Chains A and B, each alone.
Chain A
């Protein structure tokens, strides 16, 4: 177990930036969803669920096909 923990710590340089980008994407998408109330497809609840549950691809799906223009 201690061994596993050590391995984990040694990989922090990977884990931290990864988490930052993934959370950043998710938060950016969520903020955008909550600040706008029209969507090209789908609705607010659907996009919130997709952005939280579908890692990485979820937010870009939202920005490409969900984000409303007007």
Chain B
């Protein structure tokens, strides 16, 4: 069953068509990567799913219920993590989760249990200072906790890692990895390595249209049968490799040399540990 299904959704701001007739389904239990460049319309789509923006045409269903602008009934199934979550700076994390819990009608001891559990999960269990003193990464982690307080069927994360340093990014990805399987996650980003790490399905939004929708394993399989990566012990000239290939009647579409150096990201993570 699809937790989220979008049918023929369009949205314009003035003459600028931001979303043009997109459709996709997110099956239950998946981690869905929603990929697109900055300004491709990811946030707009998410806000429409949440009923924060009216759609021009098309329909959105969350757990089978139709989303309508303003009336946020379907939001009880959804947990939302905005790209830059904003909190009341004068509250402590526990107090903020209490407010969220009370708003959705949880009982007091339920709130205590769930808040403690969530704060532990996001690594804020021992933090008792006011939110105004939080770093970007801590706010993002508290954002995940508040989004999960209603045990949502669908967690929507809008660029959860873009504004963070590599350590913060790793923390968020680890947390999302942990909830994988318990909750369906939609995760918008322009950072492809993040998608590779945690998503099992993905859709690419480009120039207001969905240009690719697939599972990650299908994509990888497709690539595997067409691409090969070679690594040699000694220094080698790519011309030489190409010549050998040509002799064997193989004509590669693309040849790239010197991709063996350690990626900056993994290097940083190693020294920052």
Q: Do chains A and B touch in the complex (CB under 8 A)?
A: yes
Tally of contact residues, A, Cβ under 8 A: 2
Within 8 A of B (CB), among A7-66: none
Instruction: Give A59 Cβ to nearest chain B Cβ, in Å.
Output: 19
Residues of the B chain whose Cβ atoms lie less than 8 Å from the Cβ of A70: 89, 132-133
Chain B interface, >50% SS class: helix
Residues of the B chain whose Cβ atoms lie less than 8 Å from the Cβ of A69: 89, 132
A69 to B89, CA, bound (A): 7
A69 to B133, CA, bound (A): 9
- Nearest B residue to A68, CB-CB: B132
- Nearest A residue to B134, CB-CB: A70
A70 to B89, CA, bound (A): 8
Residues of the A chain whose Cβ atoms lie less than 8 Å from the Cβ of B89: 69-70
- Nearest B residue to A70, CB-CB: B132
Instruction: Give A65 Cβ to nearest chain B Cβ, in Å.
Output: 16
Residues of the A chain whose Cβ atoms lie less than 8 Å from the Cβ of B132: 69-70
Instruction: Give B140 Cβ to nearest chain A Cβ, in Å.
Output: 16
Instruction: Give B85 Cβ to nearest chain A Cβ, in Å.
Output: 15
- Nearest B residue to A69, CB-CB: B89
A69 to B90, CA, bound (A): 8
A67 to B132, CA, bound (A): 13
A45 to B133, CA, bound (A): 24
A70 to B133, CA, bound (A): 6
Instruction: Give A37 Cβ to nearest chain B Cβ, in Å.
Output: 14
B127-147 toward A: CB 8 Å interface, digit per residue (1/0)? 000001100000000000000
Residues of the A chain whose Cβ atoms lie less than 8 Å from the Cβ of B133: 70
- Nearest A residue to B88, CB-CB: A69
A52 to B177, CA, bound (A): 55
5 intermolecular pairs with C-beta atoms under 8 Å apart: A69-B89, A69-B132, A70-B89, A70-B132, A70-B133
* Residues of B that sit less than 8 Å from A by CB: 89, 132-133
